[in-house]
Amino acid sequence: MIRNQTIVITGASSGIGRSLLEMLSAKENGNRIIAASRGIGKLTGFGENVILFPCDLSTEDGVDALFQKAEETFEKIDILICNAGAPYYERYDYEDWSRIERIFSLNTFSCMYSYSKYLNHLNGREGRLVFTISAMGEMALPGYALYASTKFAMKGFQQAIRIESPDSLKITCVYPVSTKTNFFEVGGAGHKVEQPFPVQTAEAVAKAIVRGVEKGRKQIYPCPVSLASGVLMNVLPPVRYFYLKSQHRMLLRFLERKKNAEKGA
């Protein structure tokens, strides 16, 4: 278990971030944590070792405010976990510049900017940066064109900064598959979304992250079958084709449900 560390967790109010917060904030671990989220009011019952910090991490001001709070509270941030993110589930067939910008601002720009902030904060001292990317940063699915694009961008970004960054800064990237959180409810804007296979729990992902950070892993794949299935789809293109077709059928069912719901409203 990670012990006696100063930690910042973004996206801490639900899902993977909430599970990480619950694991790492146990009193016996001795960690001091800043838990950041726009919906921080959902978090209750944490002890004095957890500081709840509301902020909008999709903005420069929000990220600046978080780092200012962390630097006022801790001498050094030992571990920064960039976990905040949001999905859209939709057919991408519209013209809306601001909608594209919103998802990239949170999922991509915020993480890139946080890297620079953290690098300067450390100033040569040792630190660990964790990016929650996604399995969709390696294979995009129908319905997630913009979401997957934000994650592919992060996959490329981390590849470059691993070479550029000093040895004192360790970078860990996490690639969860479909996870049982409110992610899909949010992505479907209240309409039912079928989760892609395979599915795992937020607790399982959080445990994998903690284990991976303890062991100094550069990449974490929380689902045991994700790497094997990726290899299988590359070796046998028909498997990939039929999987993506099944995901497309899911999208078509979603669009039909949404259309019917809007007609009945």
- Is position 86 within any domain? yes
- pLDDT at position 163 is 96
Contact 38, 56 (CB under 8 A): yes
- Is position 93 within any domain? yes
Q: Which domain holds residue 54?
A: 6-226
Sheet holding 219-220, edge to edge: 50-54, 32-37, 6-10, 79-82, 127-132, 169-174, 219-220
Total domains in the fold of the chain: 1
- Is position 193 within any domain? yes
- pLDDT at position 120 is 97
- pLDDT at position 231 is 73
The CATH number given to whatever domain includes residue 85 is 3.40.50.720
- Is position 202 within any domain? yes
- pLDDT at position 230 is 73
pLDDT tens-digit series, residues 112-148: 999 999 999 999 999 999 999 999 999 999 999 999 9
Q: Is the pLDDT of residue 176 over 80?
A: yes
Q: In this structure, how many other beta carbons lie within 10 angstroms of the beta carbon of residue 24?
A: 26
pLDDT category, 265, cuts 50, 70, 90?
low
- Is position 185 within any domain? yes
- Is position 258 within any domain? no
Q: Is the pLDDT of residue 224 over 90?
A: no
Residue 182: φ, ψ to 5°: -85, 10
Pairing assessment for the beta strands 219-220 and 169-174 based on DSSP bridges: parallel
- Is position 65 within any domain? yes
What pTM was estimated for this model as a whole?
Answer: 0.94
- Is position 172 within any domain? yes
pLDDT tens-digit series, residues 23-75: 999 988 999 999 999 988 878 888 899 999 999 999 999 999 999 999 999 99
Query: Please, what is the angle between helix 15-24 and helix 202-214, to 10°?
Result: 50
